[in-house]
Structure 1
Amino acid sequence: MSSNSPVRQPNFLIFLTDQHRADHLGCYGNDVVRTPHIDALAQRGTRFDRFYVSNPVCMPNRGAMMTGRMPSVTGARGNGVPLPLESVTFADVLSEFGYHTALIGKSHLQNMEDRPPALPPQAQATTRQSRQYGEARRVDLHAPAYRQELRSSWERPDHQLTLPYYGFQDVVLCNHHADECFGDYLRWLQKCHPEVAGRIGREHGRRDPEFVAPQAWHTQLDEFQYPTHYIAEQSMDWLTRHTTERPGQPFALMCSFPDPHHPWTPPGRYWDMYDPDAMALPPTAIRADGAERHVQWLQRERADGRAQLETPRMFAAQAREIQEIIALTYGMISNIDDRIGMVMARLRELDLERDTVVIFTSDHGDLMGDHGIMLKGPLHYQGLVRVPFIWADPEGSAGARDDLGSSMDLGPSILRRANIGSPSGAQGCPLFDEQGGALVSGRSGVLIEESQQRAYVGFETPVQVRTLVTDRYRLSLYHEGDWGELYDLQEDPQECRNLWDDEGSQGLRQSLMEELARTLMRHMDMSPKPTSLA
């Protein structure tokens, strides 16, 4: 395209999965899991090989994706802290410039459950405590506006989200995971399939006698009643309605799947699509040499019978459990891929593909047996913090990129491609220009934050980690104690040799610590702009 050619406003179709590692796709080198439709996007688009989360947990990273800002800056620093409604999202900005925006599927920008937080015990106060000003910010996170995604709110028949919702003008909500989802999805299931609507979830699932993995059951739903199909079908219907009702208006549709996040309940044929016996264990799943202290803590917890196997908290897994979970996860991913194929077919039927940028990514990865650990937590191994990012642009070129990318680059990239500037205070980098050409992030390192509610894996206070990933190294600094992690990803891609205390690596450690400090300084909040010199 000539640089003088008029720039069209492209559409955006964003596929988002949940807890999906980069290497769990064919286009990222996995020769077992079948993902032909996602692979086709990568073949005609740009595949980022070094794309990292800003936080390896759902809520904070989803907030970063929507705002282009680090979780510590948005205020949504961890699960349990909603994204403040004052936040400006890329959907807000697109709406101002004439786009129609929609979210179909999982949101999780606010809390989904009413469970009390896992706060550390506080010492008995000896001073009077304010009831009105208990927080440093004038925000009431218990207000109705922050209860919109709660399961208990959706139990009221008249409950609906207040639109626009974080900039999305249309929302079809399917919150939570596996066959335990609620929202608009559950209302549809109750109306259209009442015979199964009361028989979903773990209490109704059938445990397979041949499986030992926790959080795995045969769902009562078939593949066409399962949330993944519902989200795809709703997305297809939305595209059709948009084309009919708003012809020519650009759109941004986020199609957000709750899978392949645990529990592992792939429906129908997807349950046994992959044989656990054929699943190779990760190279680090069973290590004969010394594991790191946080891994050892989880191993002792499992050996002592204290591991929490039926919760979202990470746990040390046995070899057979890992094989089964990988097989079931692959089944869930293939189900997603089939549904992405359906949505893409509808896009082509409506003659929208030539004007639509299609994006595929995930909110974070999963340890999935790396170092013998399952799920997610403050162990910033590559399988958890590195996610897929595919940008298929009808005006762009195809190929792989090893530029360091961050999940908070999503919004700035979409806005720049639409020829719109990011709001002041956005920290992500646009990775493409308004004509689809590649832009370089210019990063020397990617910052990853984690601020946990829980005190575990050997720490006595809630775990806080700050990680810097550079072209070659991964440095992780923990708030508590003098212990940390330093890995040479070039010489040690499996992250087995921690160089933190290595005598010959102290100069490297110091230089990376300085780089981490400078990176943290660069990510200070610069919004709002000054209004005066004094």
Structure 2
Amino acid sequence: MRKPNVIVFFTDQQRHDTTGAHGNPMGLTPNFDRLARAGTHLYNSFACQPLCGPARAALQTGRYATQTGVFRNEITLPPDQPTLAQVFKAGGYATGYIGKWHLAAQDPVPPDLRGGYDYWLAANHLEFVSDAYDARLFDGDGNEQKLPGYRVDAQTDAAIRYIDRHRDTPFLLFMSFLEPHHQNHTDDYPPPEGYRQTMDANLWTPPDLVALGGTSPWHLAGYYGMVKRLDEAFGRMMDALRSLDLTENTIVMFTSDHACHFKTRNAEYKRSCHESAVRVPTMITGPGFMGGGQVTAMFSTPDIAPTLIEAAGLQVPASMTGASILPVIRDARAPWRDDSFFQVSESETGRAIRTKRWKYGVTADYDHDRPGAPSYREVYLYDLDADPYEMVNLAGMAAFRETADMLKARLLDWIARIEGETPEITDAPPTFQRQHRPHYSDLRREYQADTSMGMNPGD
């Protein structure tokens, strides 16, 4: 049997709650939502580093930012690390990359810094060399190519041409879009003509942006318009697979490098370990993933490469820290971690951990040249069951000291395993004890404890 093709449909800076599968009521992503239901929806999917370069390095290598050396932007991915493309190429696949790279220091990107991809139509800094209606990429010979149409459509057209040319051979195609990232030189989110007005007429704003403001009042409509066009392009690419009779033998992953908090958590759009910057939409369809349903296991960027490599029947390199989630998709009882680890740089040097209920974060004085720090201080603790948009910071509250200590120990264990360091973490200073709404599961546990001791739950 022929090996399955693999396509990664990769967006930039897309929040998880732009999708209907995560509760957005605007109908922006019917293709994502439909295929997430039919295939596998990775409900708890996170960027391990909320920044373009480090997240992309982690995806291509299956390793965390401090392991790749790309712990902030403008650091070149070392060419000696095994990558997704190199593994597929060694396995007999044609490999192609279209779009934004952001893992080299120059445009055009020289061949030895392309991560092992053979076909190349890309730019290192796509946001600097192109615009929404001025799509410019560099081909394999380093020549600039201007593609017609809105940038999302232009790149999708190029991808469909690649798929058509390789219909008879197994291929790995990485489709890397800039959208819905802002256009840097205008500090705007430029959607296709007319889409901003359509979005404005029925705009839904996530609760964190309602409460915290930021730039969403003037940026969100354009951002949503870009998301809608991406989903339309995703559907068009899937239509191309169907027309070429490739649907049944092509694994397709849709995911993003990080999300966007619209300057509500710092002076940037990302570089924060809050849900609004690290939680991303992720689904997989195709052989091995159809009917997988909603998987709630904690999935992170370094898990992407091992998952796709195993799904293609190839050997996952020992250098990859992430793990394939295929065993969990096949059997929800399979062993899997119950937390996710985050590193952050450029706005701060920080670390965080997330369980299904808690988010715990620490920070240090930022040092541009250091990937980590010898000591950190607690800055936030959120109860995601009661506070999914992270509006009530529990750090420093005496009632949550035991929880914070447990999460601190788990975070230090992650740092030791991934970074080989043993930093100190200073407790948050005591803060005023505010009321906290318990989750029903807490009340249920209290009820069970009281009744087991013969107490009246109403006492």
Q: Aligned pair 1:485/2:376, yes or no?
A: no
CA distance in 1, matches of 2:327, 2:208: 40
Q: 1:425 to 1:273 in 2, by over 3 A?
A: same
**Offset, 1:256:** 1.1
Q: Aligned pair 1:39/2:33, yes or no?
A: yes
Could you tell me whether the CA contact under 8 Å between 2:37 and 2:294 is conserved in 1? no
Counterpart of 2:13 (choices 19, 22, 25) is 19
CA distance in 2, matches of 1:286, 1:100: 46
Give the aligned partner of residue 184 of structure 1.
Answer: 138
CA distance in 1, matches of 2:230, 2:210: 30
Could you tell me whether the CA contact under 8 Å between 2:254 and 2:281 is conserved in 1? yes
Counterpart of 1:382 (choices 250, 275, 296) is 275
Counterpart of 2:393 (choices 469, 492, 498) is 498
Q: 1:368 to 1:399 in 2, by over 3 A?
A: farther
Normalised TM-score (structure 2): 0.80
Counterpart of 2:357 (choices 469, 472, 491) is 472
Counterpart of 1:78 (choices 61, 72, 82) is 72
Comparing both structures, which one devotes a greater share of its residues to strand?
A: 2
CA distance in 1, matches of 2:138, 2:377: 48
Q: 1:280 to 1:340 in 2, by over 3 A?
A: closer
Give the aligned partner of residue 528 of structure 1.
Answer: none
Give the aligned partner of residue 23 of structure 2.
Answer: 29
CA distance in 2, matches of 1:498, 1:441: 31
Please show how residues 147-158 of structure 1 align to structure 2 within 5 Å.
147=106, 150=107, 154=108
CA distance in 2, matches of 1:522, 1:368: 32
Give the aligned partner of residue 221 of structure 1.
Answer: none
Could you tell me whether the CA contact under 8 Å between 1:38 and 1:337 is conserved in 2? yes
Please show how residues 227-376 of structure 1 align to structure 2 within 5 Å.
227-243=151-167, 247=168, 249-263=169-183, 264-275=189-200, 278-285=202-209, 287=211, 317=214, 321-368=215-262, 375-376=269-270
The AA in structure 2 aligned to 1:188 is Q
**Offset, 1:273:** 2.6
Q: Aligned pair 1:399/2:293, yes or no?
A: yes
Give the aligned partner of residue 345 of structure 2.
Answer: 451
Please show how residues 389-428 of structure 1 align to structure 2 within 5 Å.
389-396=282-289, 397-428=291-322
**Offset, 1:373:** 7.2
Q: 1:97 to 1:172 in 2, by over 3 A?
A: same
Could you tell me whether the CA contact under 8 Å between 1:285 and 1:369 is conserved in 2? no
CA distance in 2, matches of 1:438, 1:256: 31
- The superposition leaves residues 237-262 of structure 1 with CA deviations (integer Å, 9 ceiling, x where unpaired) of 0011112xxx2x21111111110000
Counterpart of 1:63 (choices 49, 57, 63) is 57
CA distance in 2, matches of 1:447, 1:395: 27
- Partner SS state of residue 194, structure 2: helix
CA distance in 2, matches of 1:404, 1:270: 34
Give the aligned partner of residue 531 of structure 1.
Answer: none
Give the aligned partner of residue 427 of structure 2.
Answer: none
- The superposition leaves residues 172-216 of structure 1 with CA deviations (integer Å, 9 ceiling, x where unpaired) of 114423436543389332xx7xxxxxxxxxxxxxxxxxxxxxxxx
Could you tell me whether the CA contact under 8 Å between 2:26 and 2:202 is conserved in 1? no
Q: 1:74 to 1:360 in 2, by over 3 A?
A: same
- The superposition leaves residues 268-318 of structure 1 with CA deviations (integer Å, 9 ceiling, x where unpaired) of 23332311x63244323455xxx8xxxxxxxxxxxxxxxxxxxxxxxx73x
Counterpart of 1:173 (choices 116, 119, 122) is 122
Could you tell me whether the CA contact under 8 Å between 1:431 and 1:441 is conserved in 2? no
Counterpart of 2:330 (choices 426, 437, 461) is 437
Identity %: 28
The AA in structure 1 aligned to 2:35 is L
Give the aligned partner of residue 95 of structure 2.
Answer: 101
- Structure 2 stretches of 5 or more lacking a match? 184-188, 366-375, 421-459
Could you tell me whether the CA contact under 8 Å between 2:18 and 2:28 is conserved in 1? no
CA distance in 2, matches of 1:386, 1:428: 17
Could you tell me whether the CA contact under 8 Å between 1:404 and 1:441 is conserved in 2? no
The AA in structure 1 aligned to 2:411 is L
Could you tell me whether the CA contact under 8 Å between 1:279 and 1:323 is conserved in 2? no
- Partner SS state of residue 498, structure 1: coil
- The superposition leaves residues 130-153 of structure 1 with CA deviations (integer Å, 9 ceiling, x where unpaired) of xxxxxxxxxxxxxxxxx3xx3xxx
CA distance in 2, matches of 1:427, 1:95: 20
The AA in structure 2 aligned to 1:184 is F
Which protein has greater RCO, CA pairs closer than 8 Å, 6+ apart? 1
The AA in structure 2 aligned to 1:270 is Y
Could you tell me whether the CA contact under 8 Å between 2:26 and 2:204 is conserved in 1? no
Could you tell me whether the CA contact under 8 Å between 2:79 and 2:112 is conserved in 1? no
Q: 1:80 to 1:58 in 2, by over 3 A?
A: same
Give the aligned partner of residue 138 of structure 1.
Answer: none
Q: 1:410 to 1:25 in 2, by over 3 A?
A: same
**Offset, 1:524:** 4.2
CA distance in 2, matches of 1:433, 1:503: 40
Q: 1:409 to 1:441 in 2, by over 3 A?
A: farther
CA distance in 1, matches of 2:198, 2:110: 37
Q: 1:488 to 1:330 in 2, by over 3 A?
A: same
The AA in structure 2 aligned to 1:239 is I
**Offset, 1:372:** 9.3
